[in-house]
Chain A
């Protein structure tokens, strides 16, 4: 019985980051990388994976050290831990994937100030055991990567007429150049948020209608 509970709990920790508490679409965290580097799907994916690595490693470390870190200096300690892993990613990408590193530029280093990562350390990893923290970090980063990939795909298809560098509309398509330029980032996320609002609203309305009908019976 207790094992079943544990399973469903860890599944809940994982799932909530995907949709209900999606860092970008719902909590509006980590907006700066979400818009700055997502001018193509592949960049969005790379940024998402880099953030995943940092979030996962820092969550594990913070969760392991949660009883050692004094309360007064906890934020500073989290930042140092996060900055360490970001440095690892920065140098790692420069060594193994120099093309992507050049494309993402200073935004790799700026993962440090992604509020999503610090937020998860403060809100979750510092209070929960390692296993749950890993699930939470995984859920949040998959949600984040998913959001970045969505924005990247929309901007690349409209702005470049391609997906993952493969042309999909052929020669006759006139690309909307504005979508791969900065304003396109604002527009893409703005309209995605609009879609999310509409979807949640619709789900709520549907549920209330069904409820009222079953009550009438």
Chain B
């Protein structure tokens, strides 16, 4: 693995085949909690992509310069470095582009210590991606989370006008919808087997 893996393959695999939300169950809390409206879901997804790219850069730097000397600090340093970098970038955006901050702002603190973010850092480490591959992986994973959020939000907007039994309303219904979407995504598994 790693090394000479095709860039396109990394992107598509993170986006569809190994979708973070639908096949690794990462980032479920915002997935089930927030995604009631398509537009909110989309903005949350964008914020996710943003944090994931920062994470990829942080994780790569840590893996290259710090962790070879102290492997047992991996988890602690990932969390602290990612959380504080996101805070700094958040402040910078607030100053430089209030528009962008308005669009992403409220979601940033929510996803900083999300499992999808830490999961990205860990998977990237395990797969041994270099800097560029890591960036592509982060973009693909972020886009995948966005896709899943928007899909679920779309279905949920539709269910609101239906007559749903009171017992199944809420989390149970969301989970079963997510299961069906996830089943549909399993169809992508054969996408690259011929290549």
Q: Is the CB of B176 within 8 A of A191?
A: yes
Cα distance, A179 to B19, chains bound together (Å): 18
- Judged by a CB distance under 8 angstroms, whether A189 is at the interface is yes
The contact of B182 among A105, A110, A183, by CB within 8 Å, is: A183
Q: For A112, give the chain B residue with the smallest CB separation.
A: B75
Q: For B184, give the chain A residue with the smallest CB separation.
A: A183
Interface size grouping (class) on chain A: 35 or more
Nearest Cβ in chain A — how far from B125, in angstroms?
A: 9
Nearest Cβ in chain B — how far from A66, in angstroms?
A: 21
For chain B, what secondary structure do more than half of its interface residues adopt (helix, strand, loop), or is it mixed? helix
Which residues of B have CB within 8 Å of A178?
Answer: 183
Q: Is the CB of A28 within 8 A of B118?
A: no
Which residues of B have CB within 8 Å of A190?
Answer: 171-176, 178-179
Can you list, as one digit per residue, whether each of A101-113 has a CB less than 8 Å from chain B (1) or not (0)?
Answer: 0000110011011
Cα distance, A80 to B75, chains bound together (Å): 9
Q: Is the CB of B28 within 8 A of A31?
A: yes
Q: Is the CB of A201 within 8 A of B167?
A: yes
Which residues of A have CB within 8 Å of B172?
Answer: 190-191, 193-194, 197
Which residues of B have CB within 8 Å of A79?
Answer: 79-80, 113
Cα distance, A76 to B167, chains bound together (Å): 39
- Judged by a CB distance under 8 angstroms, whether A69 is at the interface is no
Q: Is the CB of A35 within 8 A of B28?
A: yes
Can you list, as one digit per residue, whether each of A167-195 has a CB less than 8 Å from chain B (1) or not (0)?
Answer: 00000000000100111111101110110
The contact of B75 among A109, A114, A201, by CB within 8 Å, is: A109
Interface residues of B (CB under 8 A from A): 22-29, 32, 72, 74-76, 79-80, 113-115, 118-119, 122-123, 126, 167-168, 171-176, 178-180, 182-183, 186
Interface residues of A (CB under 8 A from B): 28, 31-32, 35-36, 76, 79-80, 83-84, 86-87, 90-91, 105-106, 109-110, 112-115, 178, 181-187, 189-191, 193-194, 197-198, 201
